[in-house]
Amino acid sequence: MAEPTNGVEPGTTAAEEKIAVATQWQLMWWRFRKHRLAMIGALVLVIFYLMVLCADFLAYVDPNESEAQRSLMNPQPIHWFDDGAFKPYVNPLEGTRDPKTFKRVYVPDLNTKVPIQFLGHGFPYKLFGICPTDIHLIAVEGAEAEESLFLLGTDIQGRDLWSRLMYGTQTSLTIGLVSVAISLLLGIVLGGISGYFGGIWDTVIQRVIEILRSIPTIPLWMGLTAALPADWSVIQVYFAITIIISLIGWTELARVVRGRFLSLRQDDFVMAAELLGCSKPRVIFRHMVPSFISHIIAATTLAIPAMIISETSLSFLGLGLRPPAISWGVLLQDAQNIQALAISPWLLYPSIPVVIAVLAFNFMGDGLRDAADPYG
Amino acid sequence: MLAYIVRRFFLAILTIWAITVLAFIIIQLPPGDYVTSYVASMSASGSGVTEGEILALREQLGLDQPIYVQYIKWMGLIAQGNFGMAIEWGRPVRDVIGDRLALTIVISLAAIVFTWALALPIGIYSAVKRYSILDYIFTLIGFIGLAIPGFMLALVVMYVGFAYFGASAGGLFSPEFAEAPWSMDRVWDLIKHLPIPAIVLGLAGTAQMIRIMRSNLLDELRKPYVMTARARGLSETRVIMKYPVRVALNPFISTIGYLLPYVVSGSIIVSLVLSLPTVGPLLLKALIAQDVFLSGAIVLMLGVMTVIGTFISDLLLMWVDPRIRLGRQ
């Protein structure tokens, strides 16, 4: 029941005509738009991936710059108004040692105001990897951002958590995409063979899938990632992890593709195409694939959050990405020590984007799955 | 029916074989071999190893032979119940794993029982009272449960326990029972400590199960036979519990097969955060120290455990669902 609601009253002839001439993708878009949670999820993801593109711009200090003097600083509140006018500023934090516990404590210096500047100058970087610039969304006037701005506090080595979180988001969200791309390739090829040709191929591939799915994944991944040579570069480890994660991830996608092939193989239009003498690749790619591509997109979207959680878990254990790489899991490693966490609860902040991103992917995937079959 | 059992049985054997190969790959992957790391750890601890001992060890393990021979030898050792030595511990792998594997099974089972005990009634309620306030609340909790990885939940539980109650929420035994021999008191102590790990571990699965149960039952409730039953004047409880719930349970049972590897996987990380004496922390340590025989044995054991669990769930499904029992799928 795809009823367009954009300006045309449903039920009128104009609306019916509109449905009649609408392409499948238009129908799907109309259906998707009606799923409110899915739209919110999609919006959140757009924002997330904009953050991925502009991580350098959003960070205000170099994420790897450590300074023992600034270890475990607490998040600093922004004062938005100064004397009734909109003029955001922060109070610089001064580190002292508690004479009793010998713990480093930070007190705001209430007499000094460091004004915050939007689109100000900071550390140099290359926007989108090409344009060299030093403009950042947030900067401070008349001081070094490294010494005065700590929006989400710092970690044990005194690195700014906000800036690290921006880079971590970049890594974690792209690792999900790359892994899903590898899984998709494997899933489509193997699931397609299994579903279209059937017979012995189908049996073998289905058995392989069943075997892979009954193996507990984390111990397997742990074993494989622990064996990655310690001298590999960040990039090498990154791709090795995506491949290891996809090792199991493809099975679900293959199952979906196979199911679609099996049900479509019996459809009249496929038989018609075959009887007309179309070649096999033409039947598959021209006639069958377009009619289930939307289902594949939905299944792919639903597969991404699992990949993100996998990477986060592995890195959290110290077996995934390794410093100096930054990802959500690497950031959460600092929260492993419960004593440190009890004193500095902001170390747990990186878990918030994980939960939001996973939810957003799930909501959008649900909406896409409903929209994938606009005639249903 | 027999054919089905036989087929499943062979599939289980095949899976176990695949897992042995994977475990062997894990043992082989790190550079160097077992003996080099053994010698390194022995000389690090001050006790030297003579050339003769090295040679004997290599020969015993067959490390000078091609890789497939090594695999067969390793399999032969395992068949005799010999998993090799845990280098770091200086004891046979079997002794090191022993109790911990049993506790892993206990925790996984507790998590599954928790999942079922919660997901079944909530799923039925959500389907019958669709779009009620409680249904929305359960759906919301379900989504959140789905989005929070177990280890994160464990971290939060630990943090809350430590920061607000001043007590550790982790562990499986009170200190006085940690090293004690098994007794009724120790078992009781274990039971008292089980709920937190079971809830942390089971929450994500519960969320998924509620959704499955709800949608299965909704599909069933739409069917004409339900209307017939109602028209005939059956009580509402009977209308719902007698047939639709029974039918909706089938896919539910078949998912245990997938739930088990998932829970076992999850227990590894959750155990680390909650410091539970399961094989999880042991595996991580073994992997970092490249104690390959220990890590290989653990991966193998966990794999075999899940395969057996899956096999049992298949049998259970067959027992519940006559369509499978009678050979039609």
pLDDT tops 80 at residue A115: no
- Chain A CB contacts of B284 under 8 Å are 222, 317-319
Provide DSSP, A101-155: T--EEEEE-TT--EEEEEEEEEEEEEETTTEEEEEEEEEESSS-HHHH--TT-B-
Nearest of A216, A188, A229, A212 to residue A310 by alpha carbon: A216
Q: Which residue of B has its CA nearest to A227?
A: B30
B255 in A contact zone (CB under 8 Å): no
For the ranges A68-72, A147-151, A160-164, B38-42, the maximum mean pLDDT occurs at A160-164
Nearest of B280, B146, B158, B250 to residue B203 by alpha carbon: B146
How far is the alpha carbon of B293 from chain A, nearest alpha carbon, in Å? 12
Convert the pLDDT of each residue in B100-158 to its tens digit.
888 888 888 888 888 888 888 998 898 888 888 888 888 888 888 888 888 888 888 88
Bridge partner list, B324: none
- Chain B CB contacts of A359 under 8 Å are 143-144, 146-147
Average pLDDT, chain B: 79
Average pLDDT of the residues in A366-370 = 82
Q: Name residues whose C-beta falls within 8 Å of residue B308's C-beta, 6 or more positions apart in sequence.
A: B12
Convert the pLDDT of each residue in B193-235 to its tens digit.
888 888 888 887 888 888 888 888 888 888 888 888 888 888 8
**What is the share, in percent, of chain A residues with pLDDT greater than 90?**
5
- Chain B CB contacts of A305 under 8 Å are 147
Q: How many angstroms separate the CA atoms of A145 and A61, rounded?
A: 7
Convert the pLDDT of each residue in B65-100 to its tens digit.
777 787 887 788 788 877 777 766 777 778 888 788
B265 in A contact zone (CB under 8 Å): yes
CB nearest A358 (choices: B147, B257, B306): B147
CA A52 to chain centroid, in Å, comes to 9
How far is the alpha carbon of B92 from chain A, nearest alpha carbon, in Å? 20
Interface test with B, best of A207, A213, A214, A362 (most B CBs within 10 A): A214
**Hey, what are A40's tokens?**
């919110």
- Residue B78: what pLDDT? 81
Q: How many angstroms separate the CA atoms of B246 and B229, rounded?
A: 15
Q: Which residue of B has its CA nearest to A208?
A: B15
Average pLDDT of the residues in B229-248 = 84
Inter-chain touch B269–A217, beta carbons under 8 Å: no
Nearest of A136, A144, A171 to residue A70 by alpha carbon: A144
Confidence label for B329 from pLDDT (cuts 50, 70 and 90):
very low
ipTM above 0.90, yes or no: no
CB nearest B306 (choices: A214, A319, A348): A214
| pTM of the complete model | 0.81
pLDDT tops 60 at residue A2: no
Inter-chain touch B283–A362, beta carbons under 8 Å: no
pLDDT tops 50 at residue B328: no
Q: Which residue of A has its CA nearest to B27?
A: A223
Inter-chain touch B18–A332, beta carbons under 8 Å: no
Where is average pLDDT lowest: A169-183, A333-347, B174-188? B174-188
Where is average pLDDT lowest: A36-50, B87-101, B312-326? B312-326
Convert the pLDDT of each residue in A47-59 to its tens digit.
999 988 888 888 8
- Residue A46: what pLDDT? 93
